[in-house]
Amino acid sequence: MIESWRWYGEFDAITLPEVAQTGARGIVSALHAIPYGEVWPRDAIAARRKEIVAAGFDWVVVESLPVHERIKRGEGDLPQLFANYRQSMANLAAEGVTRICYNFMPLLDWTRTDLAAPVAGGAACLRFDAARMAAFEIHMLGRAAAEDDYLSEVRARAAVWFQRSTDAERAALVSAIMAGLPGAFDRYDVDGLRRALAAYDGIGRDALRTNYKRFLDEVVPAAEDLGILLCVHPDDPPRDILGLPRIVSDGDDLEWILRAADSPANGVTLCSGSLGANPGNDVPDIARRVAGRIHFAHLRNVRKDPDGSFEEAAHLDGDTDMVALMRVLLEEEARRAGEGRADHAIPFRPDHGHHMLSDLDRDLISGYPLIGRLRGLAELRGVARALAHG
């Protein structure tokens, strides 16, 4: 497996020389300053790649080449947006960058309510608290059908939190919910989010799937021609949220996507944390079901509560059996190597991580500390080495 590290370029306080000390060999990065839907210029791609290579790394995965919201909604000048996406893929391929992670989540990427929830021993983690999310949806956003999405005891705790919360605490909650979009151009306050959600009125699961199928039809043939591997990232959290449908949340969803464009170019980012937040998901089993089309892996763990809350656990300590999952990935690599494939190795990165030690005093991107991910990478490296020795 190719040990990799997500790096946000000019938005990242962690430097490439620091990353080099983790032992990672690959960099996962993107051009976060370019607005969604615009073409990524080849010279900008070349400059980013030159910077990465000069530091001793390979640029192994683009994360992400974003899908414009109009494509997800199926409205507006879609031919131009599809053409721009294909041109960006062509420019990446011309610079030797051929794995692209993306997602099809409406409006928001990963969603949390707490960016620094306390962890035993003094560290901090990302947390999704069902009661705070309910407080936001019901009492702050005023979404009409939100009460139907939460258990009665969660709604009760949400009301108490809202009544007792200060303006600063409510502002912090909004900021946390928006934090899953580092480098993105669209940020919403409560009124702006209401307007953005209104644009999705009438778009349910079937309509979103139809729009996704059109996207695949438009870009997968070009990916085949360019030698690019596309790998969709699962929903985070893997459930409908804010009244928006989520269609990449479990094994059945992933298998539908792979059938929708039955091509090796159409693959999966196996994110153990996103899938692991769904109590119905057996992550190692899902990995077995889609193993042949896993092009990239995010390895992290979560610990779930019965009310729908969850938080980031240490990489080997959450609800997902990480050893079993790593075994699936290594067996798939061995199968590919047995076929003589030069691209048999699967890039993976330690995803998220606890903020701890000196990272607590640094202004780092939420969920992407240095030391917490270093710990995760070391633990995952140990598991892989042990499994490789039988």
The H-or-E segment that residue 303 falls in is strand 301-304
The active-site residue, picked from 149, 235, 351, 359, is 351
Point out the catalytic residue in the list 212, 271, 295, 359: 271
Residue 298 designated active-site: yes
Q: How far apart are CA 267 and CA 81, in angstroms?
A: 21
Residue 73 contacts residue 213 (beta carbons within 8 Å) = no
Of the candidates 68, 352, 354, 355, the residue annotated as catalytic is 352
What is the amino acid identity at position 34?
A: I
Q: Is residue 384 helix, strand or coil?
A: helix
Q: Considering the candidates 68, 233, 295, 354, report the single residue annotated as catalytic.
A: 233
Q: Which amino acid belongs to residue 121?
A: G
Active-site residue flag, 351: yes
What's the Cα-to-Cα distance from 304 to each of 74, 150, 220, 325, 360, rounded to whole Å? 34, 16, 35, 18, 24
Q: Cα–Cα distance between 376 and 113 in angstroms, integer?
A: 23
Which amino acid is located at 134 in the chain? A
The catalytic position among 298, 315, 354, 355 is: 298
Active-site annotation holds for 315: no
Distance CA 119, CA 316 (A): 15
Decide if 234 contacts 248 (C-beta within 8 A): yes
Q: Which active-site residues does the annotation give?
A: 233, 271, 298, 351-352, 368
